[in-house]
């Protein structure tokens, strides 16, 4: 029996925690800053992070701040498509040292068709999906197509999610539960303080899968702070900015490890 | 015409007429739903609860009716248009939403939602606008109910509808030009949604078209139903009979859905919606979503959409800012699919000609959006001599003067854009 792909995500987070680290989930927009450098960036990031999220560019990224809006637009101008991304991942899958998820708005996934999407994702070695505009009530069809192949559909919760809903989202989530740290868009200020910790702790206490928290995480201090409450931290816009500035993603991610704080 | 998927045993027109649509999941058949970030779900749940509590509440309805009468100036007239009638060989009636306060139908919804927001305890209002008509209506309604108003407007639209930008600011609204995305209505909605996601508890999003996540398409339709209800009563009184055909322009589709609802249950009344055909049928040359689109998800609902094979939303074109939008309300997608409403498209050139014709024969300057309905009605009249036509005159064209300056009367070949 092979292990379902979503279990690989959970195992990667668990493994990081076992070795005394907060799991780092690293996000990059596919094909940004350059289309040609994408496979390289992906491999480098997969060596430094515990889980990798590849952002599928979309014309109307309504949950994203300026950094990812701009990266998405540039990637689309460079001709990046969902099909191209799956091909790129498939080409390097043997060398990827961390499980890879795609983060995509729903419409590009719908356009490919869920069955074809799930088949191609499985073939490419993609472990799952995060879909920021697909709430619990609308996710049955995609979830069914992905589950059939053991792929994860990661559910998101936010600080304004009521307790009973949080429980249902956690129960439904595969791979991990994505706890959005703020009521807001990506790349802004992250959450902090007592209420914030309570929210994360509440999510962790009801979730059968590990909780990873993200939106606006930029520093080793934040990673350490969040890592005290939940198993994983998502780093997105900050890494996209580092890539844009030509920084080495491995160095950037190493500097985020709490031990570097 | 695009073929949308519809289950054979799915709901039909009867369900809509019986008030069973949208269903509890916010669907009109396959269309609609609620595709939004998790952060907005509790806010939409609260809005839905508020809609259930107030929309049919006698006290709320009474206050709204009084404001519609005293402040908006309803009911709006039904005007016979004998000049157009003679030119077209038809009997033409105009439902005059251009005479409503702030100059377009948009005020029906803006006022209704602003009063609802106030009742729900909102601290501030955000709105998007394309042609600026919804922005002006929102600014005015917010001033009336006493709430601060922030309007997101694409930078391109700010330029082509500059008189409305000044009006919004004069009415106390903060206008934020949107330079991201396509810099038109679609980018303005993206930006308004981002604002709302950042403060879902204190902010009320006053959406201006019959689009977006449930319950917006329903809510916006309910506030605009007054157009069709009045028009049906008025034409029965004045003409002694129902019209043979009802026409409206369709962008997101708010004025059209309001007008159409008065006549959906009259099987002998043909209902036609006219979309913006821009320069032609190629993807990117128009905003005729129902004519050329395929199902997809944008701005929170599943409907017809102008997008490419990769699911990327296309930039659109129309001379009219209010129709320049790649999506359409889910209820229109439904009405198209069940065949109750026919949706056709009108080119920029024909819309401009129709605008001039209405100016010269009736002494009325319609909005460029509305001009699409006139061009479509004219075409229908040519095929149905002597027919009785009711046109939804959704707004006045004063705000279009910067655009119209590029098209002096009589000069029509080779659009300036």
pLDDT at A2: 78
Single out the residue in B159, B185, B216 at which a domain terminates: B216
CB contact under 8 A, B41 and A81: no
Q: How large is the average pLDDT for residues A162-191?
A: 93
How far is Cα B216 from Cα B78, in angstroms, rounded to an integer? 28
Distance from CA of B253 to the nearest CA of A (A): 20
Contact of B202 with chain A, judged by CB distance below 8 Å, is answered with no
B15 within some domain: no
- The answer to whether residues B110 and B98 belong to one domain is no
Pairing outcome for strands B245-249 and B149-154? unpaired
Q: Min CA distance, A259 vs chain B (Å)?
A: 32
Residue B414 lies in a domain: no
Q: Which residues of A touch B283 (CB under 8 A)?
A: none
- Kindly determine whether residue A132 and residue B201, on different chains, have CB atoms separated by under 8 Å: no
Please check the confidence at residue A192 and state whether its pLDDT lies above 80. no
- Domain of residue B56 covers 28-68+106-216
Provide the pLDDT confidence category of residue A258 given band limits of 50, 70 and 90.
low
Residue B409: pLDDT over 90: no
Residues B336 and B291 in one domain: yes
pLDDT for the residue numbered B167: 96
Residue of chain B nearest A76, judged by CA positions? B312
Predicted pLDDT of residue B417 = 42
Would you tell me which residues 338-397 of chain B have a C-beta closer than 8 angstroms to some C-beta of chain A?
A: none
| Cross-chain Cβ contact B312/A76 below 8 Å | yes
Of residues B3 and B195, more confidence is placed in: B195
Say if residue B275's pLDDT is above 60. yes
**Quick check: B92 and B239 in contact, CB under 8 A?**
no
Cβ of B33 and A157 within 8 Å?
no
Taking residues B81-103, what's their average pLDDT?
98
**Alpha carbon of A149: minimum distance to chain B alpha carbons (Å):** 23
Model pLDDT for residues B4-30, shown as the tens digit of each residue: 445 567 899 999 999 999 999 999 999
Please list the residues that pair with B304 across neighbouring strands. Answer: B295
Which of B170, B200, B216 is the last residue before a domain boundary?
Answer: B216
Task: State whether B207 and B237 are in the same domain.
Answer: no
Say what the pLDDT of residue A189 is: 81
* N-term to C-term CA, chain A: 41
pLDDT of residue B1: 38
Please report, for the domain that includes residue B83, its CATH number.
3.40.50.1100
Regarding whether B292 and B148 lie in a shared domain, the answer is no
Q: Is the ipTM of this complex over 0.85?
A: yes
Q: What confidence score (pLDDT) does residue B9 get?
A: 72
The number of angstroms, rounded, from the C-alpha of B158 to the middle of its chain's C-alpha atoms is: 19
Is the pLDDT assigned to residue B414 strictly greater than 50?
Answer: no
Note the pLDDT of residue B8. Answer: 64
Cis amide linkage into residue B75, ω under 30° from 0: yes
User: What is the pLDDT confidence band of residue B415, given thresholds at 50, 70 and 90?
Assistant: very low
Does residue B12 sit within a domain? no
Residue B373 has pLDDT above 70, yes or no: yes
Using alpha carbons, select from A138, A122, A164, A133 the residue that is nearest to residue A6.
Answer: A122
CA–CA separation, A42 vs A102, rounded Å?
12
| Judgement on whether residues B86 and B173 belong to the same structural domain of the protein | no
Query: Do the domain assignments include residue B3?
Result: no
CA distances to A136, B129, B235, B281, B382 from B316, in Å: 31, 16, 36, 11, 29
Mean pLDDT of chain B: 95
Report yes or no: A185 at the B interface, CB cutoff 8 Å.
yes
- Please name the residue of chain A whose CA is at the shortest distance from the CA of residue B190: A62
Q: For testing the chain B interface, which of A81, A120, A135 should be mutated: the one with the most B CBs within 10 Å?
A: A135
Distance from CA of B42 to the nearest CA of A (A): 7
Tokens of A171: 């129960």
B412 has pLDDT over 90: no
Q: Is residue B5 part of a domain?
A: no
Chain A contact for B283 (CB, 8 A cutoff): no
Helix (H, G, I), strand (E, B) or coil at B294: strand
Active-site amino acid positions of B: 106, 128, 394
The answer to whether residue A187 neighbours chain B at the CB level (below 8 Å) is no
pLDDT value of position B410: 64
Query: Which residues, numbered 96 to 135 in chain A, qualify as contacts with chain B under a Cβ-Cβ cut-off of 8 Å?
Result: 105-112, 132-135
- Mark whether B296 and B380 lie in a shared domain: yes
Q: Each residue of B291-316: pLDDT tens digit?
A: 999 999 999 999 999 999 999 999 99
Domain boundary among B180, B197, B216: B216
Closest residue in A to B296 (Cα) is: A107
Query: How high is the pLDDT of residue A193?
Result: 77
Ordered domains of chain A (ranges, CATH) = 5-247 (3.20.20.70)
Dist CA A25 CA B330 (whole Å): 37
| B310 and B396 fall within a common domain | yes
- B19 occurs within a structural domain: no
CA distance readout (Å), B102 to B107, B140, B180, B257: 7, 8, 28, 20
Evaluate if residue B2 carries a pLDDT over 80. no
Minimal Cβ distance to B190: which of A62, A107, A111 = A62
Task: Answer whether B311 sits within 8 Å of A109, measured CB to CB.
Answer: yes
pLDDT surpasses 70 at A234: yes
Say yes or no for a CB contact (<8 Å) between B36 and A69.
Answer: no
Cβ separation of A69 and B180 shorter than 8 Å? yes
Using one digit for the tens of pLDDT, what is the confidence trace for B282-291? 989 999 999 9
CB A50 within 8 A of CB A96: no
Q: Smallest CA–CA separation between A156 and chain B, in Å?
A: 6
When the pLDDT of each residue in chain A is averaged and rounded to a whole number, the result is 95
Same domain, yes or no: B200 and B311: no
Stretch A173-194: mean pLDDT, rounded? 89
Same domain, B145 and B292: no
Of A60, A110, A138, the CB nearest to B190: A60
Identify whether B343 is part of a domain: yes
Cα A170 to Cα A164: distance, rounded to the nearest angstrom: 10
What are the two backbone dihedrals, phi and then psi, of residue B204, each rounded to the nearest 5 degrees?
A: -110, 130
The answer on B177 and B32 residing in a single domain is: yes
A53 catalytic, yes or no?
A: yes
Q: Give the number of domains in chain B.
A: 2
Q: Closest Cα to residue A171, out of A147, A155, A150?
A: A155
How do beta strands B245-249 and B388-393 pair? parallel
B295 vs A contacts (CB less than 8 Å): 110
Q: Is the pLDDT of residue B148 over 80?
A: yes
Give the residue among B272, B268, B408, B244 at the shortest CA–CA distance from B346. Answer: B272
| Residue B45 located in a structural domain | yes
The answer to whether B179 faces chain A, any CB pair under 8 Å, is no
Per-residue pLDDT averaged across A12-17, rounded?
Answer: 98
Q: Which residues of B touch A188 (CB under 8 A)?
A: 198
Of A7, A41, A64, A143, which one is the catalytic site residue? Answer: A64
């Amino acid at each position: 029996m092979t292990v379902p792909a979503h279990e690989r995500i959970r195992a990667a987070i668990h493994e990081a925690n076992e070795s005394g680290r907060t799991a780092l989930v690293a996000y990059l927009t596919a094909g940004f800053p350059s289309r040609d450098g994408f496979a390289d960036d992906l491999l480098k990031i997969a060596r430094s992070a515990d889980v990798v999220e590849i952002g599928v560019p979309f014309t109307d990224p309504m949950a994203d701040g300026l950094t990812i809006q701009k990266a998405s637009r540039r990637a689309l101008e460079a001709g990046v498509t969902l099909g191209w991304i799956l091909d790129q991942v498939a080409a390097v899958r043997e060398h990827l040292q961390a499980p890879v998820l795609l983060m995509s708005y729903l419409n590009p996934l719908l356009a490919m068709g869920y069955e074809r999407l799930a088949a191609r994702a499985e073939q490419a070695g993609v472990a799952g999906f995060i879909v920021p505009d697909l709430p619990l009530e609308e996710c049955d069809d995609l979830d069914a197509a992905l589950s059939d192949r053991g792929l994860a559909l990661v559910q998101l919760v936010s600080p304004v999610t009521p307790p009973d809903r949080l429980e249902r989202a956690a129960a439904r989530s595969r791979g991990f539960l994505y706890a959005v740290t703020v009521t807001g868009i990506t790349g802004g200020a992250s959450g902090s303080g007592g209420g914030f910790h309570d929210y994360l702790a509440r999510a962790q206490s009801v979730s059968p899968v590990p909780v990873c928290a993200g939106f606006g995480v930029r520093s080793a201090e934040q990673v350490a702070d969040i890592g005290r409450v939940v198993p994983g931290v998502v780093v997105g816009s900050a890494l996209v900015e580092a890539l844009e500035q030509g920084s080495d993603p491995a160095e950037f991610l190493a500097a985020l490890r709490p031990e570097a704080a | 015409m695009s073929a949308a998927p519809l289950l054979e045993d799915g709901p039909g027109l009867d369900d809509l007429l019986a008030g069973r649509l949208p269903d509890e999941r916010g669907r009109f058949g396959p269309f609609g739903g609620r595709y939004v970030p998790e952060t907005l779900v509790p806010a939409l749940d609260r809005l839905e609860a508020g809609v259930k509590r107030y929309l049919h509440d006698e006290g709320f309805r009474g206050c709204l009716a009084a404001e519609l009468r005293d402040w908006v100036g309803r009911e709006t007239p039904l005007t016979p248009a004998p000049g157009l009638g003679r030119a077209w060989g038809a009997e033409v009636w105009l439902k005059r939403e251009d005479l409503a306060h702030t100059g377009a139908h948009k005020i029906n919804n803006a006022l209704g939602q602003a009063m609802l927001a106030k009742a729900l305890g909102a601290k501030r209002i955000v709105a998007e606008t394309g042609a600026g008509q919804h922005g002006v209506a929102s600014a005015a309604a917010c001033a009336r109910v006493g709430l601060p108003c922030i309007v997101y407007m694409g930078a391109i639209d700010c330029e082509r509808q500059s008189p409305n930008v000044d009006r919004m600011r004069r009415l106390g609204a903060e206008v934020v030009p949107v330079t991201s995305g396509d810099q038109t209505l679609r980018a303005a909605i993206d930006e308004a949604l981002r604002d709302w996601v950042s403060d879902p508890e204190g902010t009320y999003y006053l959406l201006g078209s019959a689009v977006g996540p449930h319950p917006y398409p329903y809510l916006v339709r309910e506030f605009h139903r007054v157009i069709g209800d009045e028009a049906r009563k008025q034409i029965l009184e004045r003409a002694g009979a129902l019209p043979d055909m009802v026409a409206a322009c369709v962008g997101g589709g708010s004025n059209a859905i309001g007008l159409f609802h008065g006549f959906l249950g009259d099987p002998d009344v043909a209902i036609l919606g006219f979309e913006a055909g821009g320069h032609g049928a190629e993807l990117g040359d128009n905003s005729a979503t129902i004519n050329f689109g395929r199902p997809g998800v944008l701005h929170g609902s599943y409907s017809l959409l102008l997008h490419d094979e990769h699911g990327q939303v296309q930039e659109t074109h129309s001379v009219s800012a209010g129709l320049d939008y790649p999506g359409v309300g889910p209820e229109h997608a439904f009405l198209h699919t069940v065949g109750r409403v026919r949706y056709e498209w009108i080119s920029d050139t024909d819309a401009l000609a129709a605008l001039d014709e209405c100016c010269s024969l009736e002494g009325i300057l319609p909005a460029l959006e509305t001009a699409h309905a006139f061009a479509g009605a004219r075409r229908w009249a040519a095929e149905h001599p002597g027919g009785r036509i009711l046109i939804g005159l959704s707004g006045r064209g004063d705000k279009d003067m910067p655009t119209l300056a590029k098209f002096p009367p009589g000069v029509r070949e080779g659009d300036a854009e």
